[in-house]
């Protein structure tokens, strides 16, 4: 109901057993009636708790609350990525001092122009835009703002989508085995292709997260990763099982893939360096990077007929949209689907 305190109207609404009180900041009763209706609608939609616009923090003020949250809920490299790009966003004074609800499409466009004046690449600008988008989505989830403006990434961002062929995998494995016989990279390389693990996930794989059958590894569990979706179980191919077993023979610690001596886990930098050396020796293009093993894994799943949800569960993608790009519907698959529909249409198929 409406209550007048002094010259200003206030609203008092009992909703789900809780009393909600709010100043409507108006002296006009007709206006107060309309504002209370909006307030009541917000309660019904579950929007109560969103702070008033004038109290929304600036981007700089939000940093003190945001960074501890990101550090706790993201992988170290991901946290470093967001922290670095948040610093870039704050260099643009209008954005740094803007209250979160005031960050809109025109301001974002001004930031883009500001960055492009420094002759940076589209991918560099997009890193900052992705960070800003994540920040605003968190602010919305915490009911600090009502909506997130649409943030469109710049075109021209080069995607490394190189797919490793069977011959490349075999030749690369042979090169690594003969050139670096004491290294575990010739075991890790085909293992990555057949599991799609991120390099940090492979380096952090521990023995306690490996399931065995007939004394050979048959599946692995990822218990921590880039996001909450990274937690997953992956059945192993025969090749992945044998390469993992070969690495375990040399391990003298809790980790599956270890450095020389077997007493320490591999760091992510060592496999990346060896992969670059292998790429140069085999004459592979610069688009072929260690992450191509993961892209190859997902592409092969798609070519084998796996649906997007299965690819997401095996790869640990944070969004089904990422997985969908690997799903291919070729002519044979379409004809087979229509063939099944045709069978259902036949009289003999009717019950």
Give the pLDDT confidence of 67-101 residue by residue, as tens digits: 999 988 887 888 999 999 999 999 999 999 999 99
* Res. 54: pLDDT tops 60: no
Q: Which of the listed CATH numbers 1.10.10.10, 1.10.150.20, 2.60.120.620, 1.10.443.10 matches domain 166-324?
A: 1.10.443.10
Of 20 and 181, more confident: 181
The pLDDT assigned to 180 comes to 93
CA distance 247 to 239: 12
Of 159 and 147, more confident: 147
* Res. 51: pLDDT tops 50: no
* Res. 53: pLDDT tops 60: no
Per-chain mean pLDDT for the chain: 87
CA distance 212 to 348: 47
Map out the domains of the chain as residue ranges.
Answer: 2-48, 59-141, 166-324
Degrees, nearest 5: CA angle 141-146-152: 85
Q: What is the DSSP letter of 207?
A: G
Give the residue-averaged pLDDT of 50-55.
51
For 273-299, how does the pLDDT look when each residue is reduced to its tens digit (9 = 90+)?
A: 999 999 999 999 988 999 999 999 999
Give the residue-averaged pLDDT of 121-140.
94
The pLDDT assigned to 24 comes to 81
């Amino acid at each position: 109901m409406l209550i007048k305190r002094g010259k200003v109207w206030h609203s008092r609404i009992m909703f789900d057993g809780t009393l909600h009180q709010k100043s409507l900041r108006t002296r006009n009763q007709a206006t107060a009636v309309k504002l209370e209706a909006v307030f009541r609608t917000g309660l019904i939609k579950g929007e109560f708790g969103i702070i008033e616009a004038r109290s929304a923090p600036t981007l700089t003020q939000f940093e003190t609350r945001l960074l501890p949250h990101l550090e706790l809920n993201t992988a170290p490299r991901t946290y470093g990525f967001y922290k670095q790009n948040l610093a870039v966003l704050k260099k643009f004074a209008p954005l740094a001092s803007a209250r979160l609800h005031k960050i809109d499409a025109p301001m974002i466009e001004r930031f883009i122009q500001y960055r492009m004046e420094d002759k940076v690449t589209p991918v560099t600008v997009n890193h900052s835009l992705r960070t800003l988008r994540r920040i605003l989505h968190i602010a919305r989830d915490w009911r600090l703002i009502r909506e997130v403006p649409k943030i469109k990434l710049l075109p021209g961002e080069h995607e490394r989508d190189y797919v490793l062929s069977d011959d490349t995998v075999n030749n690369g494995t042979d090169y690594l085995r003969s050139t670096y016989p004491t290294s575990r990279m010739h075991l890790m390389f085909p293992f990555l292709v057949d599991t799609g693990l991120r390099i940090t996930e492979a380096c952090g794989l521990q023995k306690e997260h490996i399931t065995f059958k007939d004394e050979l590894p048959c599946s692995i569990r990822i218990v921590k990763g880039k996001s909450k979706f990274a937690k997953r179980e992956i059945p192993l191919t025969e090749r992945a099982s044998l390469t993992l077993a070969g690495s375990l023979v040399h391990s003298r610690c809790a980790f599956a893939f270890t450095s020389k001596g077997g007493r320490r886990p591999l760091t992510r930098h060592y496999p990346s360096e060896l992969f670059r050396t292998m790429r140069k020796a085999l004459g592979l293009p610069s688009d072929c990077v260690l992450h191509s093993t993961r892209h190859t894994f997902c592409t092969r799943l798609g070519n084998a007929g796996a649906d997007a949800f299965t690819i997401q569960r095996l790869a640990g993608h944070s969004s089904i949209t990422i997985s969908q790009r690997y799903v291919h519907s070729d002519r044979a698959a379409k004809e087979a689907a229509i063939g099944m529909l045709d069978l259902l249409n036949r009289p003999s198929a009717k019950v």
